[in-house]
Every structure is written in C-alpha cells, then in structure tokens.
Structure 1
C-alpha cells in the first residue's frame, strides 16, 4: 500500500494505516531530534545563558513542527483529488507534533540540569546524549513497526548512534 502522509482514507487494513501513521510520527520525531541536536551543538559553541538556550531549542522545536505541518499539508493537498477535510488536517498536525517533542524535551533537560546545579554547557552535553538515545529509540521503533529483521534493526541503531555521535563530535570540535 502506498499512501501520502496524512492520507488515512487511502484504504488498506487498519494495521497498514497504523503502520503508516507510526512511521510518519517516527520520521517527524527523527527530524525534530536532529534539528534539536544541531541547535544544541551550536549553542554549545557559544556562551549562552540558560533562558536563551531553553528558548532557542524549544523555539526550534516549534518551528520544525510548523515546517513539517506546512510541508505535509501542502504535499497532501497537491496529491489529493479533492480539498482536504478537517480530519486530514488534524491527522497531519498530530503526526507532525512529534517533530516538536525533541526540542521541548531538550528544553526540559536543560532546566532539569540547571535544577541539579549543572552548568548550561554540561546541560547541553546531557541533552545531546539524550538526543542520541532518542535517535536510537526512533530507529528501533521504526524498524520494528516496518517488520525489519534483527540485522536491519541493529544496523539502524548503529547508524543512529553514529549520526548522534557525529553531531556531538562536531560540537566538541567547534568548542
């Protein structure tokens, strides 16, 4: 079954629609995580206060949500033979909300690190490693939902750790 994002009226079984929806949400979460980690890496190279760091990473999560929602709604409306209904719009917004979650969680991690008495830069490092964990979890979820074998699941986990590690290494090289 081939569907476009947000097209839950495309037919197929309930399990197929659930799989497509889960993969779309996981994709949004992966996108949000990579952007949040990139912003954290940038912030790690600059002297920044807690407030500025939290607002920047959370704000980026919100912007990524709007970008994903706009792109999804635009592509769905261009692919549809008819006007998108309210249900399709709500579906796309729910799916894309996963893109904002990593930025919001990174902001919470920075606040928690501050409450624990850690420096902002240490909080950024903690949030970056949580991002690696998020990439890994998303890879596991996506590969399982897609029914991939254990070798593919392991390869995707390794790829996620490498992507996250590269972001952290680049941050360290810049700082």
Structure 2
C-alpha cells in the first residue's frame, strides 16, 4: 500500500483533487470490500452460524489489514537506506486500516441484522448489496478526483458495479 511520490503519474500520486494518502485509503477500502464480499458470498453458500459469519468476515478484514500493512512497510523499508520515520509508519498504517473497515462493518451489520430478527442468509444477502454500494461509492469518489475523461470515469464506476454484481451472481450460482 506504499503511497507513490507526488507527481509520479501513478494512480496514487499527483492526480486529481485527492491526495496520495486519500487515494491509498480508497484503494484499501476497495480491496477490503472485494475480499469482504467474497467471504460473504462463500458463507452465503454454506449453512453457517451468526458467530462463524461475523468472526470470518471480521477476521478476514483484519488479515487483509495486516497483509497490506506488512507489504507496504516491507517495500518502503527495502526502498530506503534509513530506518523508516515513525510518521511514515503511522501514515502507512492509517492508509492500510481502511482494508479492514469493510469486513469489520460487515460483521457489525450481521450482528445488527440478527438483533433485528433477520436470518443469517438474508443478512448476508443484504450485506453483499451494501458491498456493491460501497464499491460504487468509493469508485465515484475516486472518479470525481480524477483528471481522466468522463467516459473513463463512468467506465470505472460501471466496472465496480459489474464486479460487485458479479460476486453476487457467483454466490447465487453456487447456492
């Protein structure tokens, strides 16, 4: 999740109205959302308890965070001849934390849905559609901060819709 330097011309550096740190957080949110949705799709195809579903989706979010943080810090450390300053480590961990957010929020949603009397399979289906909305929202935010053509920006958002709905269709085909 290492953030590219300003003006590097990459997706995380120097483009649009969004700074590299914000882009890194949005990227982590997209990654976390895709993984959370994949886990929910898998769980929705199996008889599962609320506890297992919540622990699995939250646990996956945390694993993704640790993986993103390790990869980002490891690559930053290898690219530097000096020890990483604490501010850079905090910056990287802050960006990577968004990879865990979708899984944690999905777990919280499953708990709330249970309190409201919703069955686990129905809650998983609703959580999957909330995941699609998350993908779309993050894609719209990124597209608005882009200097790409309007057609490219609309295409990026459409790709997120197709990806999210594709995960739901795959789950339906497996079930």
Q: Report what 1:5 is aligned to.
A: 2
Normalising by structure 2, we get a TM-score of: 0.89
Q: Does 1:167 align with 2:164?
A: no
Q: Report what 1:115 is aligned to.
A: 115
Q: Report what 1:130 is aligned to.
A: 130
Judging by fraction of residues, say which structure has more helix: 1
**Distance apart, 1:52 and its partner CA:** 0.8
Note closer, same or farther for the CA distance 1:86–1:158 as it changes in structure 2 (3 Å cut): same
**Distance apart, 1:22 and its partner CA:** 1.2
The DSSP-based 3-state class of the residue aligned with 1:99 is coil
**Distance apart, 1:157 and its partner CA:** 1.4
Unaligned runs of 5+ in 1: none
Give the Cα–Cα distance (whole angstroms) in 2 for the partners of residues 87 and 16 of structure 1: 20
Residues 1-175 of structure 1 aligned to structure 2 (within 5 Å): 5-6=2-3, 10=5, 16=14, 19-175=19-175
Q: Over residues 114-159 of structure 1, what are the superposed CA-to-partner deviations in whole Å (9 max), with x where a residue is unaligned?
A: 1221110000001100110111111111122233343222111110
Q: Report what 2:10 is aligned to.
A: none
Aligned-CA RMSD value: 1.9
* Runs of 4+, deviation exceeding 4 Å: 15-18
Give the Cα–Cα distance (whole angstroms) in 2 for the partners of residues 11 and 135 of structure 1: 26
2:72 and 2:92 in contact (8 A); partners too:
yes
Unaligned runs of 5+ in 2: 8-12
Note closer, same or farther for the CA distance 1:81–1:144 as it changes in structure 2 (3 Å cut): farther
1:135 and 1:164 in contact (8 A); partners too:
yes
Give the Cα–Cα distance (whole angstroms) in 1 for the partners of residues 150 and 65 of structure 2: 31
**Distance apart, 1:16 and its partner CA:** 4.3
Normalising by structure 1, we get a TM-score of: 0.89
1:68 and 1:99 in contact (8 A); partners too:
yes
